[in-house]
Amino acid sequence: MVAAPVDAPVDEPDDPVLAVERLSVAYGGDEVLDRLDLAVERGDRLAVVGDGASGKTTLARALVDGFPASARVSGSVGYRPEGGDPVSVFDLDDAERERFRREAVAVVGGDAGGFDPTSTLRGQFRPALRATGTDEARAERLLSAVGLDADRVLDARARELNAAATQLADLARAALADPAVLVVDDCPAAVAHLARGDRLGSFESAVGTGGGATGAGGPTLVALGTELPALATLADRLAVLHDGHVVEAGSTDRVLDDPTHPHTRRLVEFYRGSP
Ligand SMILES: Nc1ncnc2c1ncn2[C@@H]1O[C@H](COP(=O)(O)OP(=O)(O)OP(=O)(O)O)[C@@H](O)[C@H]1O
């Protein structure tokens, strides 16, 4: 369904924590990603912007080898821990993958877990606290760092919280393990909240204090969504997903000021023209 990949103007990262290479994914006969390349620089805030059904969740699934059984996949995803040997994500066994999704690359939003709407978040944080050997005080610090009232949120059932609080609490829970990379897929309310003031900065400072894989420069953030303005406010780099490829990637300022791909130009003009 898609044309051959275009050569996206991509600045080569110095120290990629994730490298997606020639990733193709199809569900049934429908190809969603077509030989997609994307490198994620360690410590960056990267936003992947794409229209609805452009394959953002499929890309997020790829970063943790979380495909449904119906997916046909080729290509590779490589993870490079700070100072460690590269890991081929698609070659992990079940136990390694479970640990990888907690300690190396954690995904929130999209079709990743989330909360049971009927029980309190305090109860739903417990398995993550046990798995990471951390205490509730750290959960409270992370919840406060994303701008939430920690006690109120922990005592609430997920159905009593609005979308932003639920998504942010999910992000705080994923951060308990100090993963190297936090992937935020389709969480527009959380992204809009974090884009205000320097809330993301205070959250990033709180991550990395639990002794996990978070690098010295803080966690790497990959946020995927459709809302260019909030994502651009949050991110220092933008990648534009279209027709199964990353058609453009670069610093947020460069992509907004001087978009080279026609799709990026349309996207930027659309948001400039919106109220
Ligand atoms: N498990 C699946 N089985 C069949 N088709 C799927 C499956 N998951 C996704 N798709 C299809 O693949 C395409 C891309 O879906 P994906 O969820 O990756 O895109 P997206 O950019 O995250 O979309 P949105 O912004 O609307 O959430 C869509 O057409 C979707 O219907």
How far apart are the CA of 184 and the centre of ligand 1, in A? 16
How far apart are the CA of 53 and the centre of ligand 1, in A? 5
Distances (CA, A) of 54 to 34, 238, 247: 11, 15, 12
> Which residue, judged by its Cα, is nearest atom 5 of ligand 1?
27
How many beta carbons lie within 10 A of that of residue 272, not counting itself? 10
Q: How many domains, the chain?
A: 1
- For residue 12, the one-letter residue type is E
User: Would you say residue 203 lies in a domain?
Assistant: yes
How far apart are the CA of 149 and the centre of ligand 1, in A? 34
Contact present, 101 and 181 (Cβ < 8 Å): no
User: Would you say residue 195 lies in a domain?
Assistant: yes
3-class SS of residue 265: helix
β-pairing verdict for 237-242 and 45-50: parallel
Contact present, 183 and 107 (Cβ < 8 Å): yes
Atom of ligand 1 nearest to the CA of 226: 25
User: What domain range is 237 assigned to?
Assistant: 16-114+179-273
d(CA 260, CA 206) in angstroms, rounded, equals 37
CATH of the domain at 256: 3.40.50.300
Distances (CA, A) of 86 to 37, 83, 202, 213, 260: 17, 9, 30, 14, 32
User: Would you say residue 132 lies in a domain?
Assistant: no
Annotate 83-145 with DSSP letters as a single string: TS--EEGGG--HHHHHHHHHHTEEEEETTS----TTSBHHHHHHHHHHHHT--HHHHHHHHHH
Question: Listing from the earlier edge strand, what are the strands of the sheet with 181-185?
Answer: 105-109, 181-185, 220-225, 45-50, 237-242, 245-251
Per DSSP (E only), the strands in the chain are 16-27, 30-41, 45-50, 71-79, 87-88, 105-109, 181-185, 220-225, 237-242, 245-251
Instruction: Give every CB contact of residue 131 below 8 A, 6+ residues apart in sequence.
Output: 102, 177
Ordered per-residue pLDDT tens for the chain, 275 residues: 444 444 454 556 788 999 999 999 999 989 999 999 999 999 999 999 999 999 999 999 999 999 999 999 999 999 999 888 999 999 999 999 999 999 999 999 988 778 999 999 999 999 999 998 889 999 999 999 999 999 999 999 999 999 999 999 999 999 999 999 999 999 999 999 999 877 898 898 888 765 666 677 679 999 999 999 999 999 999 999 999 999 999 999 999 999 999 999 999 998 887 65
User: Would you say residue 147 lies in a domain?
Assistant: no
pLDDT at 77: 98
User: Would you say residue 163 lies in a domain?
Assistant: no
Return the structure tokens found at 49: 């912007």
Which of 31, 33, 56 is the best mutation target for the ligand 1 pocket, counting ligand atoms within 8 Å of the beta carbon and taking the most? 56
Residue among 263, 256, 246 nearest 39 (CA): 246
pLDDT at 209: 61
Where does 21-87 have alpha helices with state H?
56-63
- Whole-model pTM: value is 0.93
User: Would you say residue 136 lies in a domain?
Assistant: no
pLDDT at 212: 67
Contact present, 166 and 187 (Cβ < 8 Å): no
User: Would you say residue 171 lies in a domain?
Assistant: no
ipTM for this model: 0.98
pLDDT at 5: 46
pLDDT at 113: 78
Contact present, 107 and 179 (Cβ < 8 Å): no
pLDDT at 211: 61
User: Would you say residue 127 lies in a domain?
Assistant: no
Radius of gyration of the chain (CA): 18
pLDDT at 11: 59
